[in-house]
Amino acid sequence: MYNWFDAPFFGVFRVRAPILIIRDPKLIKSVLVKDFNYFVNRGIPTNFQDPLSCHLFNLEGDKWRNLRTKLTSAFSEGKIKKMVILLQECSGIFEKLINEASISNAPVDVRELTVNFMIDVIGSCAFGIQINALTEKESEFHRAAKKISKPGFKSQLWRLLRTSIPQVYKFLGIQINDPNVTKFFQDVVKQMVALRESDGSRQRRNDFMDLLVDLKRKNQSNRHSDQDNIEFDENMIAPQAYVFFVAGYETSSNTIAFCLYELATNKEIQNKVKAEIALVMKKHKELTYESIKEMKYLEKVILETLRKYPPAATIGRKCENTYKLPGTILTIPAGMRVIIPVYGIHHDPNYYPEPDKFNPDRFDDNNIQIFNTFLPFGEGPRSCIGIRFAKLSMKFGLISFLKNHRVELSDKTITPIKFTVQSMVTSSKNGIWLNIHRDN
C-alpha cells in the first residue's frame, strides 16, 4: 500500500470507512507529536462484553491519560533496574536450553525458543509467577499465547471490522478474544490479587502486579474523591495484565528471533556483537543494567532489527476535531482514522538506502537522517510505555544466545523470511530454523 502513490498522503476505504494514509515524516510528526491533542485516540473501540479490550492501548480520552500516568511509574529506569535479577534467573535457564539445542546438531526453531524465554520473563517480571515455559512442554500461559498469536477467522475478521463499523461491534457485544483466553487471564489476576492482598508478610517484588494491586488499594481508599473515571478493580487489572503479556512476549520474542536470523546471515556482524559481549563480560564478570548499557553495538543491532522488522506494520490514530494538515489544502474531518505505514517508511530507500540490507551502522550517533522515520515503538505521548523493559529483555535474550554460542543458517531456513497474516504483529510464517553451535 505504501508504494501505491508517491505522495505525502493518500486515501483509501476500509469497508465503508475512509482512511488517510500519511507518508511524509514531517506530517507524521505533526499527527503523533506536535498536534497530538487532535489525535489522542487510536480509534479502536472497547466493549464491556469483551472484557480484555479495555486496556491502555485501546482506552481513550481522560481514561487513557489517567491510566497512562498511573502505569508510567512501573516502567521507570529505577523499576526496570530492580527487574535485572529476575532477568538473570530466566537467562540462566535459557542458556542451558540453548546449550542442549547446540548438542543436538539439528536445526532449531529459534522463534519457539525465544517465545518460551519471553513467556518466562513476563511471568516473572510482571506477575511473579514461575511459568517454566522453557522447561515444561506446554504451560497454560503457552496455550493462551498460541491462541492469541494465531486467532481464528472470526476473531481476525472482527479485528478488521471493529474500527470500520464500531457501532456494530458495540451493539452486538462482540468478543474478539477466545472466551477461554479471557477467562484464563481473569482467573489468574483474581488469584494473584487475592494472594498479594492476603499475604501481609510477603516481600514486595516491585513487579507489574504489585503496582496494579497498589492502584486497586488506592482506588478503594479514594473512592469518593477520585476524579479519574476509572474503577480500578480486578475487571480493570485483567486487561492491563493481558496487554502487558501480549505486547511483552510476542513483539520481543519475534525481534530476538529476527535478529538471530540476520546475525546468521551476516557473520561479520555476529562476530562483532560477540566480541563486544565478550569484552564487557570480561570487564564486569556478570550482566548488570550498567554493563549492558555499555554494549553500544548490540543496541545498534537491535535498532536495525526493529527497523527491518517493526513489531507493528502500521500505527493508527483517530482525528478528534476537524484538523487542517500543515502545509496542505487537506482538512481531516473529525472521526476519520489516520494510518502511519511504519513498515513502508522503514523500507523506503529515500530514508534508508538499500533498505533490505541489514546495516546496524545506520544508527551511528551522528546519523540524524532517521529523525521522524524510525517508529517501531510509535512516537509522542502515546508511544509504547514499555520501551525500556522491551529492549532490556531483548538484550538479555540475545546475550544468552551469543555469549557462548553462534548461529548459522540451516537447510530448514526459509530465505527470505515469509510473514504470517494471522498475527497482529510482524511474525514469521513457519518459524526461524537455525543451527546453533557452541564456541570452541
State pLDDT tens for residues 373-407.
Answer: 999 999 999 999 999 999 999 999 999 999 999 99
Sequence-ordered strand ranges (E) for 276-350? 315-318, 323-324, 331-332, 337-340
Name the nearest CA neighbour of 219 among 97, 70, 56: 70
State pLDDT tens for residues 216-237.
Answer: 888 777 665 555 567 778 888 8
The answer to whether the CB of 61 falls within 8 A of the CB of 374 is no
Phi, psi values for residue 315, rounded to 5°: -120, 135
CA distance 159 to 174: 10
The answer to whether the CB of 273 falls within 8 A of the CB of 297 is yes
Pseudo-torsion of CA 26, 77, 75, 300, nearest 10°?
50
- Collapsing DSSP states into helix, strand and coil, what is residue 41? strand
Residue 423, judged by CB atoms within 10 A of its CB (0-12, 13-18, 19+), counts as middle
CA distance 358 to 370: 15
CA distance 399 to 322: 48
List, edge to edge, every strand of the sheet that includes 315-318.
9-14, 17-22, 337-340, 315-318
- 440 residues of the chain, pLDDT tens digit each: 788 888 999 999 887 789 999 999 999 999 999 999 999 999 998 888 888 999 999 999 999 999 999 888 888 898 899 889 999 999 999 999 999 999 988 999 999 999 999 999 998 888 888 887 777 777 788 888 888 877 777 777 777 778 878 888 888 888 888 888 899 999 988 888 888 888 665 667 777 888 888 888 887 776 655 555 677 788 888 999 999 998 888 899 999 999 999 999 999 999 999 999 999 999 998 899 999 999 999 999 999 999 999 999 999 999 999 999 999 999 999 999 999 999 999 999 999 999 999 999 999 876 655 667 999 999 999 999 999 999 999 999 999 999 999 999 999 999 999 998 877 789 999 999 999 999 98
The crossing angle, in degrees rounded to 10, of helices 208-221 and 234-265 is 160
Q: Is 384 annotated as a binding residue?
A: yes
Name the nearest CA neighbour of 307 among 272, 343, 339, 273: 343
State pLDDT tens for residues 154-168.
Answer: 777 777 778 878 888
The pLDDT mean for the chain works out to 89
DSSP string, 100-132: HHHHHTS-EEHHHHHHHHHHHHHIIIII-----
Neighbour count for residue 391 (Cβ, 10 Å): 19
The crossing angle, in degrees rounded to 10, of helices 84-104 and 387-402 is 40
